[in-house]
Amino acid sequence: MTTIHIGSRKSKLAMWQTDTVAGMLERQGMTTQINPMETKGDKILDVSIAKIGSKGVFTEELEEQLANGKTDIAVHSAKDMQSILPPGFELIAYTVREKPNDALLSKNKSIDLSDSSKKIRIGTSSVRRIALLKHFYPHVETVEVRGNLQTRIQKMENGDCDALMLAYAGVKRMEYEEMIVKIFSEEEFIPPVGQGCIAIEVAETLSSEKRKKVRECLNNPDSESCLLAERAYLRTMEGGCSIPAFGLAILEGNDIILRGGLASLDGKTVLIGTEKGPREEAEAIGERLGHYILEKGGKEILADIRRAQG
- Other CB atoms closer than 10 Å to residue 20's CB: what's the count? 14
Non-local (6+) Cβ contacts of 254 within 8 A are 278, 279
Q: What share of the chain is helix, strand, coil (3-state, %, to 5)?
A: 40, 25, 35
To the query of whether residue 80 is one of the catalytic residues in this protein, the response is yes
Q: Write the CA distances from 262 to 79, 105, 129, 299, integer angstroms.
A: 16, 25, 11, 10
User: Interhelix angle for 149-157 vs 12-27, to 10°?
Assistant: 150
Tell which phi-psi region holds residue 198, choosing left (phi > 0), alpha (psi between -120 and 50) or beta.
Answer: beta
- What's 268's DSSP letter? S
For residues 207 and 200, give the distance between their C-alpha atoms in angstroms, rounded to a whole number. Answer: 15
**Which of 164, 169, 131, 84 has its CA nearest to residue 272?**
131
- What's 295's DSSP letter? I
Task: Write down the catalytic residue from 42, 80, 102, 162.
Answer: 80
- Other CB atoms closer than 10 Å to residue 38's CB: what's the count? 11
For residues 260 and 235, give the distance between their C-alpha atoms in angstroms, rounded to a whole number. Answer: 13
6 neighbors 73 (Cβ within 8 angstroms): yes
- Backbone phi, then psi, for 300, in 5-degree steps? -65, -40
Report the DSSP pairing between strands 198-203 and 89-94.
antiparallel
Q: Could you give the residue numbers annotated as active site?
A: 80
